[in-house]
């Protein structure tokens, strides 16, 4: 671990056991599909077999007569949704499109698009009744990839969609290009002209899925008093509440969302799919309704991340990166909103560059609407950029990490948006990587190669609200509202323990429902340990202020005459007077009532995170299989609150990236039917496919956070695609520009190259 200027902490940096751990290893933890309110009934959804079709009619009469059926709904049962933009934290949605994505009204825009839902006494009866719903379609030609969708003569997903451009302009003709943007600085043509070497290539990545193991599940009860209770699997209970209230046109305060344990999300559990459907079915049936997806529903009906086509032209001069021109085309899926903007803003972040020109296209296609996936937009962009950087360095016979060091961005470097970086750890990460024993070890043998790549993620801030209650026995309840996916109950309790100078074990953190705490934005963008951590720190300071005033009251001195050091309140006027935290906690009732602190804030000062990865591979030229031999991920995390959970985030992100690089892709036929909507055919890495992942933590504290936290979860998925492609290029002498690097692709391209 490389650490720069860090104070001595007592709790931060230790590795305690997570508060939810025992429940999870004993099978007692309750996830969404485990919720069983009294009288619950089961629902199933009818999904479109076509990728693109007009719905002419939906006839539910036969299904209604099926025994055991309690309620059926279609889009006609939803209130007319407004064209209103709701910010979900990791991307915004238009509510009319959101509503249409939950249940299609006029058109189905992808195979698996939901059309109707049935509630029945058992899931089997609901399934049988769904089969009896008759839908008449006018089947239309689907548009299945971004380049086809951008053509002038492409079939249109919507006849009323025009391209949105900067300055509020719109294209004259309707288009599948939902948005176009550009970023420019410097003189790109002159910069290319004066470059020592210019490389231009086009890169393609396939649509891939987050692949969380827990399918979406929601149970809703529309209660007699008009309130709605929802038990669901989500990255943000408050965002579910807001979206349900908007789609169903009910006041926010009448919707109570109870977040259960979440079985993975990675961005995919920010949008809602099931919650309003279960709620309306409950209203119609008078019973709580449980609606769970199966794995095929998850693949075909929830948001993966974009397939992309990215062209990068880059010039090097004097051993440095000198100019970059890029055209980035991202599939948004059925409705606008791909992460192409984030891709553009992250891809050049590792470099100090004066000549930039980037064009971005957000393009609709007949595939599921994309949603966030770990560092949304950044991995595909880094695949393109870092592959070209690798080619420049290797052609110029410069060490690829040294080339990056020569051009590394640092504090004050202007980002593509023009905003300069605050203190960042890019250089420290690169220096750690170039000196790492993995990188200095030789790599030998035929068809073996080594690759490196860098990546960046902003990390999020946004809104958090927490309450801290001090109990008379000195224990503390921490009430927070951020979904805990990767150990944030632990990382927040640790920050509170540090602030209050009490043991971690004295704090019991809970993730509360939406009735019980102020609004918290989604767990996404690597924001929770940073932003909710800041709220926890402020609430802890609030508690200390309150307790100091209680001590002052007992000692008959002013509040400024009390200090809190190392777990003891001391009187500055009389050195014989002191209280431990626990002693003073017991005095609540005598000194003015219960002791509590709170904080609600919009966290500013998020610190971006850089990572550089080193990977060794061996390619089997006979089978086309790429084996990962060794993997080292170096990352600046600011401060590692819980180093084991930080390592876990890094290792998990790397392995998702390995899957993206080598095997994962949505495979469609010409009619737009997904051919691999199971875990057997959508090939995610198993324990056998990967080596131990060496996570190397670099700590360059974020000056924008009281404990220097940056955020950890996203950036580890950014470099693997390019690092592996660069290693395969090193191993085979052939540069691959399309992902995944599946055995078939390797064999075809290597045979073609010979």
Partner 1 sequence: METRLNGVERDFLCEPRQSLLEVLRDELGLTGTKEGCNNGNCGACSVVLDGRIVNSCCVLAVEIEGRDLETIEGVARGDQLHPLQSAFLDEAALQCGICTPGFIMASKALLEREPDADEARIRHWLAGNLCRCTGYDKIVRAVRRAETAIEEMNV
Is residue 55 near partner 1 by the rule CB under 8 A?
no
Closer residue to partner 1 (CB): 47 or 50: 47
Residue 115 contacts by C-beta under 8 Å, 6 or more apart in sequence?
45, 46, 47, 48, 55, 58, 74, 75, 103, 104, 108, 133, 135
Q: Which of 262, 721, 722, 731 binds partner 1 (CB under 8 A)?
A: 262
Closer residue to partner 1 (CB): 48 or 210: 210
- In sequence order, the β-bridge partners of residue 420 are 414
Neighbour-count burial for 124-135, b at 16+ CB within 10 Å, e otherwise: ebbbbbbebbeb
Selected range binding partner 1 among 112-120, 147-155, 567-575, 672-680, rule: CB under 8 A: 672-680
Closer residue to partner 1 (CB): 73 or 130: 130
Q: How many CB atoms lie within 10 A of CB 153?
A: 5
Q: Which of 34, 64, 148, 196 binds partner 1 (CB under 8 A)?
A: 34
Q: What is the nearest approach in angstroms of partner 1 to the Cβ of residue 53?
A: 27
Q: Which of 644, 673, 743, 745 binds partner 1 (CB under 8 A)?
A: 644
Which string of x and - marks every residue 67-106 that binds partner 1 (by CB under 8 A)?
Answer: ----------------------------------------
> What is the C-alpha to C-alpha distance for residues 496 and 536, in angstroms, rounded to an integer?
6
Q: What is the nearest approach in angstroms of partner 1 to the Cβ of residue 418?
A: 36
Is residue 630 near partner 1 by the rule CB under 8 A?
no
Closer residue to partner 1 (CB): 329 or 613: 613
> What is the C-alpha to C-alpha distance for residues 715 and 376, in angstroms, rounded to an integer?
10
Q: Which of 261, 275, 428, 714 binds partner 1 (CB under 8 A)?
A: 261
Is residue 667 near partner 1 by the rule CB under 8 A?
no
> What is the C-alpha to C-alpha distance for residues 157 and 54, in angstroms, rounded to an integer?
10
Q: What is the nearest approach in angstroms of partner 1 to the Cβ of residue 533?
A: 18
Omega before 740 within 30 of 0, i.e. cis: yes
**How many Cα atoms are found within 13 Å in the side-chain-facing hemisphere of 6?**
22
Asked if 174 and 161 count as a contact pair (C-beta separation under 8 A), the reply is yes
Selected range binding partner 1 among 10-18, 280-288, 500-508, 619-627, rule: CB under 8 A: 10-18
> What is the C-alpha to C-alpha distance for residues 701 and 716, in angstroms, rounded to an integer?
18
Residue in this structure with the two tokens 């970059």, named with its chain if needed:
324
Q: What is the nearest approach in angstroms of partner 1 to the Cβ of residue 214?
A: 4
Is residue 666 near partner 1 by the rule CB under 8 A?
no
**Residue 553 to residues 386, 516, 556, 586, 598, Cα–Cα distance (Å):** 62, 31, 5, 14, 21
Residue 175: both structure tokens together = 């288009």
Which string of x and - marks every residue 238-257 that binds partner 1 (by CB under 8 A)?
Answer: --------------------
Closer residue to partner 1 (CB): 212 or 579: 212
Q: How many CB atoms lie within 10 A of CB 199?
A: 18
> What is the C-alpha to C-alpha distance for residues 215 and 309, in angstroms, rounded to an integer?
29
* Residues of span 198-217 touching partner 1 by CB under 8 A: 210-215
> What is the C-alpha to C-alpha distance for residues 95 and 367, in angstroms, rounded to an integer?
19
Closer residue to partner 1 (CB): 76 or 680: 680
Q: Which of 116, 206, 207, 655 binds partner 1 (CB under 8 A)?
A: 655
Q: What is the nearest approach in angstroms of partner 1 to the Cβ of residue 142?
A: 26
Q: What is the nearest approach in angstroms of partner 1 to the Cβ of residue 457?
A: 18
Asked if 453 and 394 count as a contact pair (C-beta separation under 8 A), the reply is no
* Residues of span 348-377 touching partner 1 by CB under 8 A: none
Q: What is the nearest approach in angstroms of partner 1 to the Cβ of residue 24?
A: 3
Of 388, 468, 440, 402, which Cα lies nearest the Cα of 725?
388
Q: What is the nearest approach in angstroms of partner 1 to the Cβ of residue 95?
A: 29
> What is the C-alpha to C-alpha distance for residues 596 and 624, in angstroms, rounded to an integer?
61
Closer residue to partner 1 (CB): 380 or 490: 490
Selected range binding partner 1 among 5-13, 305-313, 574-582, 654-662, rule: CB under 8 A: 654-662
* Residues of span 446-485 touching partner 1 by CB under 8 A: 485
Is residue 486 near partner 1 by the rule CB under 8 A?
yes
Is residue 121 near partner 1 by the rule CB under 8 A?
no
Is residue 27 near partner 1 by the rule CB under 8 A?
yes
Is residue 30 near partner 1 by the rule CB under 8 A?
yes
Of 345, 379, 263, 247, which Cα lies nearest the Cα of 608?
345
Q: Which of 647, 665, 730, 749 binds partner 1 (CB under 8 A)?
A: 647
> What is the C-alpha to C-alpha distance for residues 332 and 342, in angstroms, rounded to an integer?
13
Number of chain residues interacting with partner 1 (CB under 8 A):
58
In degrees, rounded to 5, the angle at the alpha carbon of residue 598 between the alpha carbons of residues 259 and 9 is 95
Is residue 641 near partner 1 by the rule CB under 8 A?
no
Asked if 276 and 102 count as a contact pair (C-beta separation under 8 A), the reply is yes
Q: How many CB atoms lie within 10 A of CB 669?
A: 11
Selected range binding partner 1 among 440-448, 621-629, 663-671, 683-691, rule: CB under 8 A: 683-691
Is residue 679 near partner 1 by the rule CB under 8 A?
yes
Q: Which of 341, 400, 652, 672 binds partner 1 (CB under 8 A)?
A: 652
Q: What is the nearest approach in angstroms of partner 1 to the Cβ of residue 522?
A: 15
Asked if 616 and 629 count as a contact pair (C-beta separation under 8 A), the reply is yes
Q: What is the nearest approach in angstroms of partner 1 to the Cβ of residue 23?
A: 8
- Strand 568-571 vs strand 578-580: parallel, antiparallel, or unpaired? antiparallel
Closer residue to partner 1 (CB): 121 or 554: 121
Residue 324 contacts by C-beta under 8 Å, 6 or more apart in sequence?
312, 313, 314, 315, 348, 351, 353, 355, 356, 357, 358, 385
Closer residue to partner 1 (CB): 408 or 494: 494
Name the 3-class secondary structure at 591: coil
Closer residue to partner 1 (CB): 497 or 584: 497
* Residues of span 407-436 touching partner 1 by CB under 8 A: none
- In sequence order, the β-bridge partners of residue 2 are 698
Q: Which of 519, 690, 743, 745 binds partner 1 (CB under 8 A)?
A: 690
Q: Which of 693, 697, 725, 741 binds partner 1 (CB under 8 A)?
A: 693
Q: Which of 22, 193, 602, 675 binds partner 1 (CB under 8 A)?
A: 22
Q: Which of 49, 68, 648, 743 binds partner 1 (CB under 8 A)?
A: 648
Is residue 26 near partner 1 by the rule CB under 8 A?
yes
161 in the Ramachandran plot: left (φ > 0), alpha (ψ -120 to 50) or beta?
beta
Name the strand (E) or helix (H) holding 326.
Answer: strand 320-333
Q: How many CB atoms lie within 10 A of CB 224?
A: 7
- Strand 53-59 vs strand 134-139: parallel, antiparallel, or unpaired? antiparallel
Closer residue to partner 1 (CB): 362 or 664: 664
Selected range binding partner 1 among 422-430, 508-516, 554-562, 682-690, rule: CB under 8 A: 682-690
Q: What is the nearest approach in angstroms of partner 1 to the Cβ of residue 122?
A: 9
* Residues of span 263-302 touching partner 1 by CB under 8 A: 263-266, 294-295
> Environment class of residue 657 by beta-carbon count within 10 Å: exposed (0-12), middle (13-18) or buried (19+)?
buried
Residue 466 contacts by C-beta under 8 Å, 6 or more apart in sequence?
478, 479, 480, 481, 492, 517, 532, 535, 536, 539, 598, 599
Residues lying near partner 1 in the complex (CB under 8 A) are found at: 15, 17-18, 20-22, 24-31, 33-34, 36, 124, 210-215, 261-266, 294-295, 485-487, 644-645, 647-649, 651-656, 678-680, 684-690, 692-693
């Amino acid at each position: 671990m490389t650490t720069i200027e860090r104070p001595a902490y007592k709790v931060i940096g230790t590795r305690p056991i997570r508060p939810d751990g025992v429940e999870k290893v004993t099978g007692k933890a309750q996830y969404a599909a485990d919720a069983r309110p009294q009288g619950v009934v089961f629902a199933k959804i009818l999904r479109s077999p076509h990728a693109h079709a007009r719905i002419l009619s939906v006839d539910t009469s036969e299904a209604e007569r099926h025994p055991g059926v309690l309620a059926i709904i279609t889009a006609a049962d939803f209130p007319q949704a407004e064209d209103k933009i709701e910010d979900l934290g990791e991307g915004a949605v238009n509510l009319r499109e959101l509503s249409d994505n939950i249940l299609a009204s006029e058109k189905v825009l992808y195979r698996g698009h939901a059309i109707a839902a049935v509630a029945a006494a058992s899931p089997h009866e609901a399934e049988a009744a769904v089969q009896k719903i008759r839908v008449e379609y006018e089947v239309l030609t689907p548009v299945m990839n971004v380049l086809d969708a951008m053509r002038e003569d492409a079939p249109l997903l919507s006849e009323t969609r025009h391209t949105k451009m900067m300055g509020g302009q719109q294209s004259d003709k309707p288009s599948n290009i939902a948005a176009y943007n550009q970023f420019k600085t410097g003189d790109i043509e002159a910069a290319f002209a004066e470059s020592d070497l210019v490389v231009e290539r086009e890169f393609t990545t396939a649509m891939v899925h987050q692949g969380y193991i827990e399918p979406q599940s929601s149970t809703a009860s529309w209660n007699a008093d008009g309130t709605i209770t929802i038990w669901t699997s989500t990255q943000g209970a408050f965002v579910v509440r807001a979206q349900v209230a908007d789609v169903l046109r009910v006041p926010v305060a009448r919707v109570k969302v109870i977040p259960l344990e979440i079985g993975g999300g990675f961005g995919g559990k920010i949008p809602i799919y099931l919650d309003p459907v279960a709620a309306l079915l409950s209203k119609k049936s008078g019973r709580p309704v449980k609606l769970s997806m199966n794995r095929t529903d998850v693949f075909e009906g929830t948001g993966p991340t974009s397939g992309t086509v990215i062209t990068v032209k880059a010039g090097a001069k004097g051993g440095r990166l000198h100019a970059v021109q890029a055209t980035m085309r991202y599939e948004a899926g059925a409705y606008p909103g791909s992460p192409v903007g984030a891709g553009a803003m992250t891809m050049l972040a590792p470099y100090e560059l004066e000549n930039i020109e980037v064009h971005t296209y957000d393009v609709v296609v007949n595939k599921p609407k994309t949603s966030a996936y770990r560092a949304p937009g950044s991995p595909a962009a880094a695949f393109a950029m870092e592959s070209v950087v690798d080619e420049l360095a290797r052609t110029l016979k410069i060490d690829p990490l040294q080339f990056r060091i020569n051009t590394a961005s640092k504090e004050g470097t202007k980002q593509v948006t023009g905003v300069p970086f605050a203190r960042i750890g890019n250089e420290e990460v690169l220096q750690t990587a170039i000196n790492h024993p993995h990188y200095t070890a030789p790599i030998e043998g035929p068809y073996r190669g080594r690759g490196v790549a860098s990546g960046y993620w902003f990390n999020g801030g946004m809104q958090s609200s927490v309450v801290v209650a001090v109990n008379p026995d000195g224990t503390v309840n921490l009430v927070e509202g951020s979904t805990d996916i990767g150990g944030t109950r632990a990382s927040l309790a640790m920050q509170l323990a540090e602030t209050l100078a009490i043991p971690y074990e004295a704090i019991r953190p809970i993730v509360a429902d939406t009735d019980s705490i102020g609004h918290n934005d989604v767990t996404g963008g690597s924001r929770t340990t940073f932003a909710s951590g800041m709220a926890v720190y402020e609430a802890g300071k609030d508690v200390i202020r309150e307790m100091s005033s209680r001590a002052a009251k007992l000692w008959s001195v002013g509040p400024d005459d009390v200090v809190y050091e190392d777990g003891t309140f001391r009187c500055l006027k009389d050195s014989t007077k002191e209280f431990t935290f626990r002693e003073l906690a017991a005095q609540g009732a005598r000194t003015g009532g219960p002791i509590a602190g709170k904080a609600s804030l919009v966290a500013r000062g998020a610190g971006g995170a850089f990572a550089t990865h080193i990977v060794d591979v061996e390619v089997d030229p006979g089978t086309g299989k790429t084996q990962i031999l060794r993997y080292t991920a170096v990352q600046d995390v600011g401060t590692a609150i819980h180093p084991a959970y930080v390592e876990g985030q890094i290792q998990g992100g790397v392995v998702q990236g390995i899957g993206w690089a080598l095997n994962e892709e949505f495979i469609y036929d010409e009619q737009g039917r997904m051919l691999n909507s199971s875990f057997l055919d959508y090939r995610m890495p198993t324990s056998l496919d990967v080596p131990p992942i060496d996570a190397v933590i670099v700590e360059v504290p974020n000056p924008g956070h009281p404990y220097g936290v940056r955020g950890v979860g996203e950036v580890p998925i950014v470099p693997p695609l390019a690092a592996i492609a660069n290693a395969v290029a090193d191993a085979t002498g052939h540069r691959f520009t399309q992902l995944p690097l599946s055995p078939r692709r390797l064999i075809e391209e290597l045979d073609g190259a010979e």
